[in-house]
A and B are shown apart, each in its own frame.
Chain A
Amino acid sequence: MAANFWASTHGTHWLLNRQQLINSRKDDLKHINEHELTKVNIWFAKIITDLGKNLQVRQIIIATAITYFKRFYTKNSYRGTEPYLVAATCMYLACKIEESPHHIKTVISEMKKLTEGKGGFPYENQKVAEMEFYLMEELDFKMIVFHPYRALATLAQDLGTKNEDVQNAWWVLNDTYRTDMCLLYPPHVIAAAALYLPIALKDIREWFALLNITDIVQEIISLYELWTEYNEEKPQEILQRLLKK
C-alpha cells in the first residue's frame, strides 16, 4: 500500500509487459501504424496535461489521470471508445482519488474550452458520470497510483544531486507520461532513469549501472526524437482517420 509499492495493486496488478501492450493495440493498429498511434498517445497525454493545468491541479494529479487513461486503453481501443470523454473522466476521477476534488461541471467546462476548434467536447454531467463508472471498472477499481516524483526526491537527496539537475530530472519525469513507461516500470526505476539523463555526463554512471535502466533511458530518448517531428495538426489528422468508421 501507500508504504510499500510491492504490496500495492500498482505493483501486483498494474505493471504490464510489452507483449500485453502490443496485444491491446491490435485493433487500432489495423487502421493506423505504430508510429501514428504513438503520436495519438502523446496527443492525449498533452490534452490531459493541459486540462490539469487549466484546472490548476498539481502535477501528481495530472500523472494519475494520464495513468488511468493509459490503463484504460490497455483494455480498449480508441476506435471502440470516445477518447476525449475518457480523458476528461480520468481527470475528474484522479482529482477525487488524490483528495483534491473539482466539481464535475468545472472539469467539463474546462474541457470544452480546451477542445474548442479541435472537435469540441459534446458531453454533459451525465455522460461523464456514467463514464466514471466504466472507467473505475476498467481500472479493476485499483485506483491508487504510485509516481516516481517522490522517489526522485529521495534519490536526489541520497546522491546530493544539484538542484538544477533535480529540476531537469523532474521535467524528464513529466515527459515520461507521454510514453508507456508508467505501465511498464516501477516508479523508482523510472525516477532513477530520469535522474540519469541530466547527469549522464557526470561521474556517477557507475552507480546507475547497477540499476537496469538502459531501456527506459533509450525510450525517453526515442520520445524526444519523435517529438522533433511532432506538431499538433498531425495527431488530430491521424485521430480523425482512426476514429472514422
Chain B
Amino acid sequence: MSNKLVGKSMLQEFREKREKERTRIEEKYEILGFISSGTYGRVYKAKARKKENKNSSSDEETKSPVYAIKKFKPDKEGDITTYTGVSQSACREISLCIELKHENIVSLQEVLLEDNSIHMVFEFAEHDFLVRIIERKPLPEFTIKSFLWQLLNGVSYLHANWVLHRDLKPANILVTADGVVKIADLGLARIYQLPLQPLFNGDKVVVTIWYRAPELLLGSRHYTKAIDIWAVGCIFAELLTLRPIFKGEEAKMDSKKQVPFQRNQLVKIFEVLGKPTKEQWPTIDQQPEYSNLSSFTLKQLREFYQNTCSSKSDLGFELLSKMLEYDPVKRITAEDALNHPYFEEEPKPSMGVKYEDNDMKVPPAAPNASTTTQGQAGTSHGGVVVGARGKHGHSGKDEGGRSSKRRG
C-alpha cells in the first residue's frame, strides 16, 4: 500500500466503505412515475417499498406513504460537466428544508446520494399546484381566503426564522387534496439575518418578474422580507381575478450581463396602482432607477378591485392594498396580515379547504380555522400527484378520513 501522505487509495477506500453501507434508492423506493422537470433536474413520484414485516396483520391495509423525489442533475458549465460540486440552489434548499418544520411548508423526509446526484425525498400526498387551480375557474371567497391565510401562515413562519423565500408564485405553491397549502421550492431562499454580504451581491435577480416587488424593479441593493409580501399580494389578486395582476414582459439580460431596467413590469404596476409619490414612498428618490420614472398613466387599485375581483369585501381590499404598498417599510408584515380583520369576517378561513371542480359553493358547514368538513369526497382536480402530509399535520384531522383519490 502507498506510503504517500495523501494517496488516492484512501478516498477510494472511504468511497467503497460508504457505497457498501448505502442502500440503493430503488431498494428503498419504488418509482411510480415522472412528475415534472426543471433546470435543476427532475421530480419523480415514488412510494416506499414495504419492509418484510411479520407483525403486520394481513387484513390491515398498510398504505405505503407516497413521496416526491427531486433528483438534481450535476452542475454543468457550458456543455461539459465540470464538477463544480453541488449547486448553490441545491445547497440552499437542502440546508433550509432540513431545518424548517411547518405544516404550510413542504416537508423534507431525507436526502440521498446516488450516482453523483443529490436526491431530495419529500413527503407528499395528492396535490395540485396553485397555478393549475387558478387556471380552472373562479374560486369561492372561502377558498381564496383559506389559501391566502395558509400562505401567509407559512410565510410568517419563514420570516420568523429569518428566511426569505424570494420566489413566491402560484407555480411554487402546492395545495394538497385536503386543501392544505404547502410552500415549495426553496432553491432561492436564504437566511437574511445579518448577511455577510449585501443580498444583492449574491443574486442579481430574484423573484419571477410578475411577482417582483417595486423596490427590486427599481434596483434596490438592499431588500427585506417585504418582497415576499408583495408576491403574496400579487397571488391574492390572482386568486381573485384568475389572472396575474401585473403581467409585464421581461426585459432580457444583455450580453454584458447587466441587469436590465424592467420598464414594462413597472408600467403594469403603475397602471393599477398609479405612479408612486414621495408621500407614499419617502425614500423613492434614493432608488437607483428613480430617474427612469418619468411619465406613467394612473389608475387606482380600488377601481381594479371593484371591476375585476370576485370579492366585494372592503376588508379584503384593505388587506390587498396593504400588501401592495409601494414603500417596503410601510408594507404589512405576514404576521400582521394574519391578524387582519379580513380573516375575522365571514366566511372564515380554514386550514384545509376542500375544493372541487364541480362544486364552487362554500361548503355547507361553515368551517373555522381549525376544522374541516369531513366526508367530502376527495378532489378530482386535474392535477398531478402527491401532496405532503407529514407528521406535522394540521390540527384536528382524522387521518383515515382523507381519501386521496387520484384523478381519473
Where the two chains meet, the residues of A that have a C-beta atom closer than 8 Å to any C-beta of B are 1-4, 7-9, 58, 60-61, 76, 80-85, 92-93, 96-101, 103-104, 119, 122, 125-134, 136-137, 141-144, 150, 239-240, 243-245
Contact = CB atoms under 8 A, between A and B. Distances in A.
26 contacts: A1-B163, A2-B162, A2-B163, A2-B193, A3-B193, A7-B101, A81-B10, A82-B11, A83-B6, A93-B91, A96-B86, A96-B88, A99-B202, A100-B202, A104-B85, A119-B6, A122-B6, A125-B82, A127-B11, A132-B86, A143-B94, A144-B96, A144-B191, A239-B5, A245-B2, A245-B3
B197 A3 contact: no
Contact of B95 (A4, A97, A134): A97
Given A99-B202, A240-B5, A125 B84 contact: yes
Contact of A60 (B6, B88, B196): B196
Contacts of A100: 196-197, 202
B162 A128 contact: no
Contacts of B366: none
Interface string B192-203: 011111000010
Contact of B5 (A76, A92, A119, A134): A119
Contact of A126 (B83, B86, B88, B91): B83
A141 B95 contact: yes
A103 B191 CA distance: 21
Contacts of B235: none
A136 B86 contact: yes
A80 B1 CA distance: 13
B98 A101 contact: no
A142 B5 CA distance: 30
B84 A81 contact: no
Given A131-B11, A243-B5, 12 more contacts: A2-B161, A9-B98, A9-B99, A80-B17, A82-B11, A92-B85, A98-B196, A99-B202, A101-B88, A103-B84, A136-B94, A143-B94
Given A97-B91, A132-B86, A142 B196 contact: no
A129 B288 CA distance: 38
B102 to A, nearest CB: 10
A84 B6 contact: yes
Contacts, number: 127
Nearest to A105: B84
Contacts of A239: 5
B270 to A, nearest CB: 33
Nearest to B161: A1
Contacts of B225: none
B287 interface: no
B95 A144 contact: yes
Q: Size range of the interface on B?
A: 35 or more
B85 A141 contact: no
Given A80-B17, A82-B10, A133 B88 contact: no
A104 to B, nearest CB: 5
Nearest to B197: A100
Nearest to A8: B99
B171 interface: no
Residue in B6, B82, B94 with the greatest tally of chain A CB atoms within 10 Å: B6
Given A2-B161, A2-B163, A60-B196, A76 B14 contact: yes
Contacts of B160: 3
B45 to A, nearest CB: 22
Nearest to B112: A137
Contacts of B389: none
B6 A3 contact: no
A114 to B, nearest CB: 14
B196 A134 contact: no
Contacts of A9: 98-99
B391 to A, nearest CB: 15
A11 B261 CA distance: 44
Contacts of B11: 81-82, 85, 127, 130-131
B13 interface: yes
A143 B92 CA distance: 10
Given A8-B99, A80-B10, A98-B196, A3 B5 contact: no
A11 to B, nearest CB: 10
A137 B202 contact: no
A3 B191 CA distance: 10
Given A9-B99, A133-B86, A81 B2 contact: no
Contacts of B95: 97, 141-144
A80 to B, nearest CB: 6
B25 interface: no
